[in-house]
Structure formats: structure tokens, C-alpha cells
Homo-oligomer: A and B are copies of this chain.
Amino acid sequence: MAAPKDPRPCSIADTLALVGEKYSLLVLREVCLGNGRFDQLVRNIGAPRDILATRLRRLVDAGLLARQPYCERPQRFEYRPTRAGLELEPVLMTLMAWGDRHLRTDGDRPMIIEHSCGQALAPVVTCRACGDEVRHEDLTARPQAPGWTVTGPTAA
């Protein structure tokens, strides 16, 4: 999934090169839920075992997961999210919200995340500076590196 051909330096592409392969983000979902054992992951994600092993290695190497023994004799391991891995959780929340809104009719949500404020979590992406919700019309792309051309009027 490395992108040797992508002519543009881009943090979206770089991030996807790490977590954009099939199953990778579902692995993150599971470890964030606390289901970090190999066979749990196989069952819950439905991925072939060999592919899962490959993904796990990659995520550990990238520093998104840590492989921790949870019992010596017999050695057993559990995958847990690192700080960096946890920082991708908002992406998962946002994807889930999008799917709930666009892929499901009405209130048949398979999972609700409860926030500490007591409400069901409805994630909103906001601007740290002003606090407003991020909307397409409010964004303007400012390329900082060569390789970018932005044709649209408002861009982002």
C-alpha cells in the first residue's frame, strides 16, 4: 500500500498508507474496544488469519499497537493501542457516524458510544481555533509543497 507513484506529498495519503489497507482500521476498532487477542480479532473482524498477522505486524511496527504478553507460560499476547493508535479513534468515530447517517435507515444503529457527559456520542469535527463545526465552504487549501494544484474556488 505504499504509494511510490503518488506524486503529491500528502499526510492523508501517508496515513492511509499505514492504516488504509483492508482490515487495519477494523483492527484498531477492536483493540480500542479492548478485544485485542488474536482469535478474538479473527472472529470479530472476519479476516483471514494470515492477513491479520501481517496487518498486526505492520501496525506494531508503525507504533500504533503494542503486543503485550498477558500471561507467561503459556505465552499469550494481547494487542493494545498505543497513544498514537488511540489518536486515530476520532477517525473511527467519525466514520461510524457517517455510516449511521448514510448507510442505515432510522435508528437501527449497531452500536452507540456513550460519552462521559451522559449523552450518546455524536462526534462533530470542529476548528480548534474558533470552535465552529468544520464545513466545506469554510475551508481554503494552502499548499505548502510543490506538486499541488488546486483548481476549485473553495478548496480543501
Contacts and interface: CB of A to CB of B under 8 A. Distances in A.
Contacts of A47: 5
A145 to B, nearest CB: 4
Contacts of A40: 151
Interface residues of A, number: 98
A71 interface: no
Interface string A118-156: 111111111111111010111111111101111111111
A132 B117 CA distance: 9
A87 interface: yes
Given A29-B10, A117-B127, A111 B145 contact: yes
Contact of A141 (B100, B113, B154): B113
Given A89-B156, A110-B145, A138 B115 contact: yes
A60 interface: no
A105 interface: no
Given A119-B127, A128-B123, A150-B35, A15 B95 contact: yes
22 contacts: A7-B43, A7-B46, A10-B110, A11-B104, A11-B111, A15-B98, A16-B26, A89-B156, A90-B134, A91-B98, A108-B144, A109-B144, A110-B144, A113-B140, A113-B142, A116-B139, A117-B129, A117-B130, A118-B129, A121-B127, A122-B127, A123-B125
